[in-house]
A and B are shown apart, each in its own frame.
Chain A
Amino acid sequence: MRTTAPVIVAFLVGITLVITFFLNEKTPLVGQLSNQLLDWLIIIGGFTLLLGVVSILRVSWQTVQRRKEGWFYKIATIVSVLVMAIPSLLPVSWSPLFGRFEGSIYDWLFVNLQAPMMATMFATLAFYIASAAYRAFRARTAEATLLLLTAVLVMFWRVPIGEAILNLMPGDMPYFINKFVMNGANLAVQRGIIIGAALGAAAMSLRIILGIERTYLGKG
């Protein structure tokens, strides 16, 4: 029963959403049924977010209690979660410091700590890319040389000074890169990848709806 019930629910919800996709949503029953199911998905999704918060707090707390390696970092995690979450959940009517809007603790922490930290982490990629590019990007084979030349051309094309240099070359190089590299070879390859991935997703959805794929139940 523990396996059968979720498979039946997945089949009924999946098949209903697939059918309603092809029907006119303005038909009251179809529209209502589809939106009702989508509302349930959103509500269940909300609980998964809550589950995530509870889980990270529980795992972090257990690490601190057992003094496992790096336990002091887990204290930082717990403090950060609580300091961000609690003031944002309290009603603004109690104090303008509560809630999620301008002037609140949450907003201050987000603007002055979280956003700059996330942007910094992402920006450090530039250093690693530069280092990796000069160490690993070698014209060892014909394919690697083609990739290298294309990458260099696109990198030139994407910046103003590079584009100015490309304009000095014979022919309209920026137009050539746009037309034949980005809107030509790249477009064709991307289209193939997108169609392939979509077919894969459709096949996987069908397997889940028909109960063939049950790994989401923890079964192999």
Chain B
Amino acid sequence: MNFWERFESMDRRWVYLMVAITVVIPFIFPMKFPVSVSPEARSFFDAVDSLPDSSVVMLVFDYYPSTIAECEPMAIAGAHHLFRKHCKVVTLSNIPYGAPSMAESITRGIAAEYGKEYGKDFVNLGYKYGYVSVLKGMGVSIESIFPADNRGTPLSELPLMNYVKNYEQVDFIFEVADNATADFWISIVNAGYGVPMGVGCTAVMAPKFYAFLGAGQIVGLLGGMKGAAEYEILLDKKGTAFRGMDIQSLVHFLIIALVVIGNVGFFVKKRRNRKTKS
């Protein structure tokens, strides 16, 4: 059995071990590869940065805990940017599985850093079942869909929500998603009410959103951990996404190397079979 045959019949657990080692090494020895900024991330950042003070922005936590590694850095960077710019932030979620809790802990923690007050500078509406109904209904009245915030306080008792009645008072939507809810924000809220929005999504979802970006329905796109790292760089606040790029770089390289070696072996074997036949 030659090298190529041996490689092809290699136990998959060796591959798992290689991936594990590749993931662990950058944790011990951070490499800090320079990250360049894509035009999609820059246009997203610029759109948020050009909002006037006190603009109302909906920061939407539409992701499950399983994609925290990719989506949470986007939500954190977004919250920092919005509070730094003194925007009024309304958070909500169309995901029942822990997203309202994540929205609560992230926004309250970051808001405290900027001295923002709950009810006046930011509000967490929480979760309500049925995202199509929720997104459509908020166009008429947010209060009819969310009579109370995530903690059960009636919206009428929150000064910010006395001003924000429906999408007419919302200046921008910062959507962080790992599922199809982002499509509905675009098709219902952007198309129906004309609210500008940007989408941060997982890397596997990103190719789809280039269609919306090309059509001008979203102003910018953050694709996966790379997108989050780009936003962190633009914000000059490097976080977990920037650190994660070392790991992603090495794992991508490992996969490419495995694919290349696998294909070389495939062609060597094919050539030998042809020779044997002739």
A→B interface (CB under 8 Å): 25, 31, 34-35, 38-39, 41-42, 45-46, 48-49, 100-102, 107, 110-111, 114-115, 118-119, 121-123, 126-127, 129-131, 133-135, 137-140, 148, 152, 155-156, 158-164, 174, 178, 182-183, 186-187, 190-191, 193-194
Interface centre among A39, A126, A139, A159 (most CB of B within 10 A): A159
Would you give the shortest CB distance from A105 to chain B, in whole angstroms? 13
**B168 → A minimal CB distance (Å):** 10
Question: Beyond A42-B145, A187-B213: 19 further Cβ-contacts under 8 Å?
Answer: A35-B137, A41-B133, A45-B129, A101-B104, A118-B65, A119-B66, A122-B69, A130-B18, A130-B255, A133-B255, A148-B259, A148-B263, A155-B255, A158-B226, A159-B245, A161-B253, A178-B38, A183-B214, A193-B208
A80 to chain B, nearest CB (A): 13
- Is B259's CB under 8 angstroms from A137's CB? yes
Set B210, B223, B256: member contacting A156, Cβ < 8 A = B256
- Minimum C-beta distance from A20 to chain B (A): 9
Decide: B66 and A38 in contact? CB cutoff 8 A: no
Q: Within 8 Å CB of A159, what residues of B?
A: 33, 226, 245, 248-249, 252-253
**Contact between B15 and A127, CB atoms less than 8 A apart:** yes
A35 touches B140 (CB 8 A): yes
Q: Offer 11 A-B interface pairs, CB within 8 angstroms, sorted by A.
A: A35-B145, A39-B144, A42-B129, A130-B15, A133-B255, A139-B267, A155-B256, A160-B35, A174-B36, A178-B39, A191-B214
Would you give the 0/1 interface string for B128-146, flagging 1 where the beta carbon is closer than 8 Å to chain A? Answer: 1110011011011100110
Report if B98 contacts A (CB, 8 A).
Answer: yes
Contact B249 A161 (CB under 8 A): yes
Cβ of A187 and Cβ of B69 under 8 Å apart? no
In Å, the complex CA distance between A54 and B139 comes to 33
Supposing A46-B129, A115-B68, A163-B36 touch, asked if A134 and B15 sit within 8 A by C-beta, the answer is: yes
- Interchain nearest-CB distance for B258 vs A (Å): 4
Of A119, A134, A156, A190, which is within 8 A of B252 by CB?
Answer: A156
Residues of B86-126 contacting chain A, CB below 8 A: 96, 98, 100-101, 104-105
* Contact residue among B139, B211, B251, B263 (Cβ-Cβ distance under 8 Å from A190): B211
B272 at the interface (CB under 8 A from A): no
Kindly provide the distance from the CB of A205 to the nearest chain B CB, expressed in whole angstroms.
11
Which residues in A have their C-beta under 8 angstroms from that of B19? 126-127, 130
B261 neighbours in A (Cβ, 8 Å): 134
Please classify how large the interface on chain B is, using the bins under 10, 10 to 19, 20 to 34, 35 or more.
35 or more
Cβ-based interface call for B148 (8 A):
no
> Which B234-256 residues sit within 8 Å CB-CB of chain A?
245, 248-249, 251-256
Residues of the B chain whose Cβ atoms lie less than 8 Å from the Cβ of A115? 65, 68, 98
| Also in contact, A25 and B139, with CB within 8 A (given A41-B130, A42-B133) | yes
A184 to chain B, nearest CB (A): 9
Output the least CB separation between B254 and chain A (Å).
7
* Cβ contact within 8 Å between A49 and B266: no
Give B108's nearest chain A residue, CB to CB: A102
CB-defined interface of B203-235 with A at 8 Å, one 1/0 digit per residue?
Answer: 100011011011100000001101000000000
A55 to chain B, nearest CB (A): 16
On whether the beta carbons of B140 and A34 are closer than 8 Å, the reply is yes
Q: Say whether A49 contacts B129, CB under 8 Å.
A: yes
**CB-based nearest A residue for B257:** A134
A186 to B263, CA, bound (A): 25
Which single residue of chain B is at the shortest CB-CB distance from A47? B129
B140 x A42 contact (CB < 8 A): no
Q: Is the CB of B262 within 8 A of A137?
A: yes
Tell me which of A38, A45, A123, A178 has the highest count of chain B C-beta atoms within 10 A of its own C-beta.
A38
Evaluate contact between B65 and A45: CB separation under 8 angstroms.
no
Is residue B151 within 8 Å, beta carbon to beta carbon, of the partner chain? Answer: yes
Nearest-Cβ distance from residue B226 to partner chain A, whole angstroms: 5
Which one of B35, B69, B137, B211 lies within 8 Å of A191 (CB-CB)?
Answer: B211
Report the separation of the CA atoms of residues A137 and B96 in the bound assembly, to the nearest whole angstrom: 37
Which residue from A31, A48, A123, A156 sits with its C-beta under 8 Å from B69? A123
Query: Smallest distance from the beta carbon of B126 to chain A beta carbons, Å?
Result: 9
B64 in the interface, Cβ–Cβ < 8 Å? Answer: yes
Report whether B207 and A35 are in contact in the complex, using a CB–CB cutoff of 8 Å: no
Report the bound CA distance from A190 to B218 in whole Å. Answer: 15
With a CB–CB cut-off of 8 A, which chain B residues contact A174? 36
| Cβ contacts under 8 Å, B133 to chain A | 38-39, 41-42, 45
